[in-house]
Homo-oligomer: A and B are copies of this chain.
């Protein structure tokens, strides 16, 4: 929902004022909207776009060299008035006429039409063009009734680039018509936006559902379906658009197309990229060559959750116009002169891990079986506690401890199994598990668990059967390495609070000659007690957890998971011996 405003009635005006203040290099405010900072060159057709507020970067964000000469900016979701449009057009006029461009909505059609008439009366030659790209909004035989959505961008750009080339008003209009006729969009939505000052959303979509073809102001769609996967969403978008090719395009194969994957506001960039991955694949399979794709927020609807796909089927002329440089507040292309050389070669994988394993003794290979069983138990206990670990971590951290531990322990188990299958000893199995954990888990816990497993592996090696004291030695080394790396000591409310007493207890018991499984049992008890004790501590001040008081009464997530793991490993040792 829209939360930041002053008087809701002043929202659009204040937004325009702030926009202009932030973008003085590109635009200057005039009554009714903005025009380019520099005057339109004499003899150049001016392209003036416009529409309601709430769709940024449409429309003001698209004013600048290579794109619009001016934008008339209406109130929230309302067409600018004819008077506003006329004012902007007169300020943008370079003596060669004005093309007024806008999305095909009843209000815009009325006001831009009236503006064109008034401009003619003022002695300014004006033409109008309404973009009508949303194929869900009317059938093909009524395509003139379709709404304009993200197809605005390629159609505006084609016309503006043609104007920049010095073409006449009628030629620029013909370019707009050709680009419009070859531009199709289709969209899906998951939730609506709440306008400034309103206490309820403009429209809603049921939880876990998707509205197909819903308009960007909540105009009804053509159906409702279950929430798709990203790949299925991509398939729906691509297949629908490939069903309605422009009249002069016989088949997609061999065609070139500008592609715009547009987020409506709260479908965010990474989601768009996941969808685009499949869109690119499917278009490639259909034989379509993608030209200068745009994946981002080009026409929004406040924080509406939705996404649309636009294809502009290019001919040679349209392609040159689409690729032409532009420099506007929200759309810049062809920066720094020449494009960088393309180079699609993937750099050789730096971590192509040598899959061969070093030689190992039979004893160490047998011990590797125990190690694998232990890692199995680790992955199992983490899986069982993912949610709990996340919850605990969320008290003072970012709540991802459970997820990270799952990724790491699962990867470690796989890597260990692979190494063991190749005949690795205990040391190598632990080293491979260490690398996999650190590599896949990321985050703090990934680095620290990688270090723990690596220290243990180094202590065990691939030759000797791992005696209990050797295991204790490895754990002690792990403890020292974790303190060094993490910069924490006992009492800082971190995993160190558990790792140190665990290592101490294990060392003490093995020094007494207690066999490993039993010694581990005692040490695991010490670990459990220590983890419980961390709940009473104030956390170490520091990065990402500076708020001591909040976590009083909650154990540290890393300490808690370590204690759980020591206990689980004891179970594996019991079973395996």
Contacts and interface: CB of A to CB of B under 8 A. Distances in A.
Interface string A97-123: 000000011110111011000000000
A215 B490 CA distance: 26
Interface in A398-437: 398-400, 403-404, 407, 435
A229 B295 contact: no
A276 B22 contact: yes
B350 A90 contact: yes
A79 B446 contact: yes
Contacts of A4: 229-230, 233, 267, 271-272, 274-275, 307
Interface stretch (A13-21, A312-320, A361-369, A518-526): A13-21
B142 A541 contact: yes
A266 interface: yes
Nearest to A229: B6
A335 interface: yes
Interface stretch (A338-346, A370-378, A464-472, A567-575): A338-346
Interface stretch (A25-33, A174-182, A238-246, A508-516): A25-33
B300 A268 contact: yes
A538 B470 CA distance: 84
A30 B346 CA distance: 6
A397 interface: yes
Nearest to A395: B220
B300 A231 contact: no
A26 B230 contact: no
Nearest to A280: B21
A347 B91 contact: yes
Contact of A277 (B17, B275, B332): B17
A322 interface: no
Nearest to A547: B220
Interface stretch (A52-60, A247-255, A528-536): A52-60
A162 interface: no
A65 interface: yes
B268 A218 contact: no
B147 A544 contact: yes
B22 A542 contact: no
A577 interface: no
A407 B9 contact: yes
A404 B202 contact: no
A57 to B, nearest CB: 7
A21 B278 CA distance: 10
A342 B26 CA distance: 8
Contacts of A439: 81, 83-84
B29 A346 contact: yes
B106 A217 contact: no
Given A145-B546, A543-B105, A274 B90 contact: no
Contact of A78 (B21, B442, B485): B442
A444 interface: yes
Nearest to A445: B107
Interface string A48-86: 000011101100010011100000001111111111101
B110 A444 contact: yes
A167 B192 CA distance: 50
A138 interface: yes
Contacts of A81: 438-442, 446-447, 450
A341 B12 CA distance: 27
Contacts of A38: 340-341, 343
A541 B268 contact: no
Contacts of A399: 202-203, 217-218
Interface in A204-249: 215, 217-222, 227, 229-231, 233
A24 B53 CA distance: 33
A156 interface: no
A114 to B, nearest CB: 7
Contacts of A230: 4-6, 14
A430 to B, nearest CB: 16
Contacts of A450: 81
27 contacts: A2-B271, A4-B233, A19-B269, A19-B295, A25-B339, A28-B344, A35-B347, A56-B268, A61-B269, A65-B336, A75-B407, A76-B400, A78-B443, A80-B442, A81-B450, A83-B350, A84-B442, A91-B347, A91-B350, A106-B444, A111-B438, A111-B447, A145-B543, A215-B398, A219-B397, A268-B302, A297-B297
Q: Which 10 A-B pairs have the closest CB atoms?
A: A217-B398, A18-B277, A18-B273, A87-B350, A78-B442, A335-B335, A56-B269, A110-B447, A107-B444, A107-B443
